[in-house]
Chains A and B, each alone.
Chain A
Amino acid sequence: MRRLSGFNVVSLTLGFTFLYLPMVILVIYSFNESKLVTVWAGFSTKWYGELMRNEAFLDAALVTLKVAVMTSTLATILGTCAAYVLVRIHRFPGRTLFAGMTYAPLVMPDVILGLSLLLLFIGIGLDRGVLTIVLAHTTFAMCYVSVVVTSRLVAFDESLEEAALDLGATQWETFRLITLPIIAPAVISGWLLSFTLSLDDLVIASFTAGPSSTTLPMKIFSAVRLGVSPEINALSTIMIALVTVGVITASLMSKSAAIRKAKDEKAAARA
């Protein structure tokens, strides 16, 4: 291994400072006694307590979670289906068109997507609320799922499915017992990706939310326009903590799988 030279240390420090300094400041000030965000007046957890008593924030948090869970579940199902059909069925009328269209929302500006969905919901007379946000988020989140799952399916040896069919499994059983377990890591990361996408979307939610369905990003955004409060800092710190725990859990899970595999391989080498 190469030793850490002075140059490496400096670039590492700069990089991480750039990435994490804003967040560190935010976390520190969430424990500030003072109401003024820029003046440090001692350590306190009172803003967390405040936050827990703030009905509006709690409601928004609940809405956001509901939307994120429903979105990621729906998007994962739809995105996986789309990926499966596009990869497995090599020839059907309009395949290229469909494949292209799946990716379109990835490059479409959020504003356009939000506006067009808003027009659609008004057009079909759907009342705006949690449901419309879920539908809107699913529209773009499923594209990401489809991209992630497609890349896994392309690397998938089709003869595995043929072997299952040959052994008497129907197409559905083959998908359930063979395909799905093997692509599961991609499906799960698709789910997590949609979850975070839905969690932090502001633009599309603003277009498609109704009066009783304000999401957390919308709430924070409107609160910040009246000035940054330590309460917002506390809220953001909680979100950072949640995301960090999630990411670490996911990486630990894949790491323990890797360790188990390495152990098996060593045993195989000895045998």
Chain B
Amino acid sequence: MTVSLSLSGITAHYGTTKVLEDLDLHVGEGELVSLLGSSGCGKTTTLRLVAGFLEPTTGSIKLGDRDLTRLPAHARNIGLVFQTYALFPHLTVRDNVAFGLKQRGIGGAERRKRADTMIDRVGLGDFADRYPANLSGGQRQRVALARALVIEPPLLMFDEPLSNLDAKLRVDMRVEIRRLQQANGTTAVYVTHDQEEAFSISDRVAIMNAGRIMQLDTPEVLYSRPANAFVADFVGFENMIPLRAVAEAGDAVRAEMPGGGVLTLPKEHFTVPSKEFILATRPEGLLVAPAGDGIPTTLGLRTYLGRAYQYQCDTPGGEIKANGPLAQPFESGTNAVLIPQPEQCCLLPA
């Protein structure tokens, strides 16, 4: 059974503090959507709303054609992996994993078999009779994972499930999560503040800030075409150059930097969104050249990155970073131009 999840117009409060504001989120059937954002932006709160631990002030939540908004938590049939594991300390690993099966009325032998299979799957076969207090952080996390997976819910939610694992296990486990999720066609919401993790396993990623979704798109689009300055900054567009369109010159737009300097942007490659706009790029989106149509600059400190040289560039609009070819190193203090590479630059409304 695959279902979709829809949150529409959700506003949520803790007491009088507004935590989520007018949030819309649609997760398609069998899709994995990540919520990505810095600490305190409302990721856990979003999961708590869907799980039913918190009621939204306004808005509705639907899973398939079931309206969850006012349904009690125990009737929702959602698997949730808690940020703090929330393992039952008085039950063994096996009984923790079997808890959900027991609530679903699955009998003794069958229950034990399914629990043990899942425990093996997360690599804890030798630990089934242990109590959670006697497991390492990573082992506990895997028990939490097994406990949510074993009930085979139509919707799985993960709240930073891998944050306590070492780097190698983290990569292995996220691949395993993705594999299980795709094999069962389970719809999933995955919370993390690790960009690489979110991008690597998600169909789409929602970038959140202060209780709002700033952009919801595929990792590819987010990475190369952020829709606003927040997302651009988040995905590593280190240079944000404010510009103002001053004139049309045939098939190009002439734009001016605040401190002086003029740039010609061919319309064929660049769509200027408004009169005042921002040119956002990563360092590799600006090519350092001795001359040409670009941002005039004096090159500063040069660092070697392996694939390129990076320069701290002094421009009329402030300091920016740009990469130059390995074949042609420039000395510090050289005058040069920075040429925007269309496929690696974004023009964003100011």
Mark A residues whose CB is within 8 Å of B. 91, 157, 159-160, 162-171, 173-174, 177-178, 181-182, 261, 264-265, 267-268, 271
A264 to B104, CA, bound (A): 31
Q: Which one, A167, A181, A271, contacts B100 given CB within 8 A?
A: A167
A264 to B130, CA, bound (A): 8
B126 contacts across to A, CB distance below 8 A: 271
- Assess the A164–B53 pair: CB atoms within 8 A: no
Most chain A CB neighbours (cut-off 10 Å) among B73, B89, B104:
B73
A169 to B89, CA, bound (A): 17
- Assess the A168–B77 pair: CB atoms within 8 A: yes
- Assess the A168–B103 pair: CB atoms within 8 A: yes
- Assess the B133–A178 pair: CB atoms within 8 A: no
Q: A160-B86, A166-B80 are in contact. List 20 more A-B contacts (CB 8 A).
A: A159-B84, A160-B88, A162-B48, A162-B53, A162-B73, A162-B80, A163-B87, A166-B51, A166-B52, A166-B79, A167-B99, A168-B75, A168-B151, A169-B74, A170-B72, A174-B74, A181-B90, A264-B134, A268-B134, A268-B136
Q: Which one, A159, A164, A264, A271, contacts B99 given CB within 8 A?
A: A164
Q: Is B208 an interface residue (CB 8 A)?
A: no
- Assess the B88–A178 pair: CB atoms within 8 A: yes
Closest Cβ of chain A to B277, distance in Å, is 45
Q: Is B221 an interface residue (CB 8 A)?
A: no
Q: A178-B88, A182-B89, A264-B130 are in contact. Are A167 and B147 (CB under 8 A)?
A: yes
- The number of residues on chain B lying at the interface, defined by a beta carbon within 8 Å of a beta carbon of chain A, is 35
1/0 contact string of B68-95 vs chain A (CB within 8 Å): 0000111111111010101111100000
- Assess the B73–A264 pair: CB atoms within 8 A: no
A173 contacts across to B, CB distance below 8 A: 74, 103
Q: Is B135 an interface residue (CB 8 A)?
A: yes
- Assess the A162–B131 pair: CB atoms within 8 A: no
- Assess the B103–A162 pair: CB atoms within 8 A: no
- Assess the B88–A163 pair: CB atoms within 8 A: yes
Total inter-chain residue pairs, C-beta < 8 Å:
80
A15 to B276, CA, bound (A): 83
A157 contacts across to B, CB distance below 8 A: 84, 86
Lowest 9 CB-CB distances: which A-B pairs, in order? A168-B103, A167-B100, A163-B86, A159-B86, A268-B134, A165-B73, A264-B134, A181-B90, A166-B80
- Assess the B103–A267 pair: CB atoms within 8 A: no
A264 to B136, CA, bound (A): 12
- Assess the A165–B134 pair: CB atoms within 8 A: no
A267 contacts across to B, CB distance below 8 A: 134
A174 to B53, CA, bound (A): 14
Residue of B nearest to A264 (CB): B134
- Assess the B90–A182 pair: CB atoms within 8 A: yes
A268 contacts across to B, CB distance below 8 A: 130, 134-136
B48 contacts across to A, CB distance below 8 A: 162
Contacting residues of chain B (184-220) with chain A, CB-CB under 8 angstroms: none
Residue of B nearest to A267 (CB): B134
A91 contacts across to B, CB distance below 8 A: 15
Q: Please, could you name 14 A-B residue pairs with CB atoms under 8 Å apart, sorted by A?
A: A91-B15, A162-B48, A162-B73, A162-B80, A163-B80, A163-B86, A166-B79, A167-B151, A168-B74, A168-B75, A173-B103, A181-B90, A264-B133, A268-B135
- Assess the B104–A165 pair: CB atoms within 8 A: no
Q: Which one, A159, A168, A174, A264, contacts B131 given CB within 8 A?
A: A264
A173 to B86, CA, bound (A): 17
Q: Which one, A160, A166, A177, A271, contacts B73 given CB within 8 A?
A: A166
Q: A168-B74, A168-B100 are in contact. Are A162 and B135 (CB under 8 A)?
A: no
A165 to B100, CA, bound (A): 9
A264 contacts across to B, CB distance below 8 A: 130-131, 133-134
Closest Cβ of chain A to B179, distance in Å, is 23
Contacting residues of chain B (100-121) with chain A, CB-CB under 8 angstroms: 100, 103-104
A167 to B76, CA, bound (A): 9
B72 contacts across to A, CB distance below 8 A: 165, 170
Contacting residues of chain B (298-326) with chain A, CB-CB under 8 angstroms: none
A165 contacts across to B, CB distance below 8 A: 52-53, 72-74
A177 contacts across to B, CB distance below 8 A: 99
Residue of B nearest to A160 (CB): B86
- Assess the A159–B82 pair: CB atoms within 8 A: yes
- Assess the B74–A170 pair: CB atoms within 8 A: yes
A261 contacts across to B, CB distance below 8 A: 133-134
A91 to B151, CA, bound (A): 33
Closest Cβ of chain A to B70, distance in Å, is 15
Q: A167-B103, A170-B74, A181-B90 are in contact. Are A162 and B82 (CB under 8 A)?
A: yes
Contacting residues of chain B (265-296) with chain A, CB-CB under 8 angstroms: none
